[in-house]
Chain A
Amino acid sequence: DTAVSQTPKYLVTQMGNDKSIKCEQNLGHDTMYWYKQDSKKFLKIMFSYNNKELIINETVPNRFSPKSPDKAHLNLHINSLELGDSAVYFCASRLTGDTGELFFGEGSRLTVL
């Protein structure tokens, strides 16, 4: 009964490869996010989707392409991976208009060699 689930939890790959991370929430929320946590633990918003529509894109390189097939899913595809993409990527969700908190997944640790 995990609320926000991400797969895979760990991903190790070579520079130049393409990889995807998937996220699903079963909370009935309509807004979903991708955050990046770097090696210094800084958390930075990357994207936000509301009802499958992109509403926030925080100057992320266009090698990163989010996709939301429905409001319960938000996937992240990364092309031509670079060393600097190594980080933990967190998916989160909430209900628009609600004063409530974000619910986070457990994170997907991406290591680019």
Chain B
Amino acid sequence: AQSVAQPEDQVNVAEGNPLTVKCTYSVSGNPYLFWYVQYPNRGLQFLLKYITGDNLVKGSYGFEAEFNKSQTSFHLKKPSALVSDSALYFCAVRENSGNTPLVFGKGTRLSVIA
């Protein structure tokens, strides 16, 4: 069975500083990995994904994530945080076969302080 762990409930960072939101995953085959962001009272918005190829993927709003197969991790990063990045971030994984559903982590609340 596939699963995702986001070890931090909350990440606080000062505006302008780099941010990292951690994610580790478990799947039996090769993973498809995703990051989504959720603003208050809104649906989930796609940020970026890893399917294959380059381990560093770049996404929306200046976010990037690094796939590390040996550590089964897919941490989300941004070089310089903005107050507007404050939101709930979800990591998700699914196996690269058939109609397996996307399984989400419990979410990490990012708070960027001015």
- Which residue of B43, B90, B96 contacts A106 across the interface (Cβ within 8 Å)? B43
Chain A interface size band reads: 20 to 34
Complex interface residues of chain A between 53 and 110 (CB less than 8 A to chain B): 55-56, 58, 90, 92, 96, 99-107
Q: Tell me if B43 and A48 are in contact (CB < 8 A).
A: no
Q: Tell me if A41 and B44 are in contact (CB < 8 A).
A: no
Q: A101-B34, A105-B43 are in contact. Are A41 and B99 (CB under 8 A)?
A: no
Q: A31–B101 Cα gap in the complex (Å)?
A: 10
Q: A42-B106, A43-B104, A99-B51 are in contact. Are A104 and B44 (CB under 8 A)?
A: yes
Please report whether the interface of chain B is mostly helix, strand, loop or mixed according to DSSP. Answer: strand
Q: Tell me if B43 and A107 are in contact (CB < 8 A).
A: yes
Please report whether the interface of chain A is mostly helix, strand, loop or mixed according to DSSP. Answer: strand
Give a binary string over A45-56; 1 marks a CB under 8 Å from any B CB, 0 the rest: 100101000011
How many residue pairs link A and B with beta carbons under 8 A? The number is 57
Q: Tell me if A45 and B43 are in contact (CB < 8 A).
A: no
Interface size on B, residues (CB 8 A): 22
Complex interface residues of chain B between 29 and 82 (CB less than 8 A to chain A): 32, 34, 36, 38, 41-46, 49, 51
**Which single residue of chain B is at the shortest CB-CB distance from A10?**
B41
Shortest CB distance A91–B (Å): 9
Which chain A residues have a beta carbon within 8 Å of chain B's beta carbons?
4, 31, 33, 35, 40-45, 48, 50, 55-56, 58, 90, 92, 96, 99-107
Q: A43–B34 Cα gap in the complex (Å)?
A: 14
